Amino acid sequence: MTRPRHSQHSGGVLTGEQRARLDTVGWVRVPGVVGHATAAAMADAVWASLAARGIERDRPGTWPVGFVGKHQKLRTRRVFDPFGAAPATVALVDGLLGPGCWRDERPWGPALVTFPEPGPWTLPHKIWHVDLPGRGDPDRPAVVRMFAYVGDVVERGGATLVVEGSHELVRRRVAAAPGRDAGSSAELRRALLGSHAWFRALCREGGADRTRRFMVDGDEIDGVRVRVAELTAAAGDLVVMQPWTMHNLSMNCRTTPRMMVTHTVHRHGAADPDVRPGRPAPPPGRPAAAT
């Protein structure tokens, strides 16, 4: 397998092995960025906000099904900011963007909350997307994309899904593109599907044993291993994802809501990379956000 070139900075708190994993696979977990008590206080705030909408923690009968949005007030109140203030996060972003090259003033969020829904858990075919356009220095990402965990998120429990290796395929496209402009995020998606049967099959309904095909077997494309992984982690953890990684939301077939937060930090002076994180529209056949 061709090894991607490493970005300029080392990744701060990341060990050499973790940094290599981030570059090769596209994501890495940083455990215990905030303590359990801090994460639990955030979960309490989410539940208090949901209670105002008639969704009660101790009464699952009041729970909606699937993804629930509109947590802007929590963000405005900076409920999730302890993730950003944590020394491990600061060291991580320093390591990736360079000390003094960024300032994170925006409130942490948005929150990603998915309530349980009936199974069986299936691998989605719609909504696979890349947040950023394919522009800029291919070896010096303009942003750090992170997911933070307010509660434990286990397999089949609504974790964000990523296509490992997809960031490297995009990086090569950007490196090869005239003016280092490989197009918008929608164009990147089209290009990946247009060039590789594996991506086309991932984004097409049906096919035998999709979970095995895409999450276990994966494929090798131009020497890059691609595979779908679930970003599972424990309350208080952080996952950093290479910004050109194709990803998606997933069904929560467990018994408790999935509570995560996503956040992006921008490098000073980078042209506005037009990051569009957050939840795309739900696929047909899946319940829309209840509130």
Sites of contact with ligand AKG (CB under 6 A): 112, 131, 160, 247, 249, 262, 277-279
Smallest distance from ligand AKG to CB 130, Å? 9
Instruction: Report the C-alpha gap between 81 and 45 in whole angstroms.
Output: 13
Nearer to ligand AKG, 98 or 282 (CB): 282
Q: What tokens does 92 get? A: 């991580």
Q: Point out which residues pair with 113 in neighbouring strands.
A: 68, 259
Please report how close the Cβ of residue 67 comes to ligand AKG at its closest, in angstroms: 7
Burial class, 242, CB count within 10 angstroms (exposed 0-12 / middle 13-18 / buried 19+): buried
Q: What is the smallest separation between the CB atom of 275 and ligand AKG, expressed in angstroms?
A: 8
User: Which residues are CB-neighbours of 104 under 8 A, at least 6 positions away?
Assistant: 84, 93, 265
Separation CA 243–CA 282 (nearest Å)? 22
Give the residue with the Cβ less far from ligand AKG, 193 or 239.
239
**Got the DSSP string for 247-277?**
EE---B-SSS-EEEEEEEEEBTT--------
Question: What is the identity of the amino acid at 189?
Answer: R
**Residue 229 CB, nearest distance to ligand AKG (Å)?**
13
Question: Residue 147 CB, nearest distance to ligand AKG (Å)?
Answer: 7
Would you list the DSSP string of 29-71? EETTSS-HHHHHHHHHHHHHHHHTTT--TT-GGG---EEE---
Q: Considering beta carbons, is residue 10 or 256 the nearer one to ligand AKG? A: 256
At closest approach, how far in Å is the CB of 103 from ligand AKG?
21
Rounded to whole angstroms, the Cα distance separating 285 from 168 reads 32
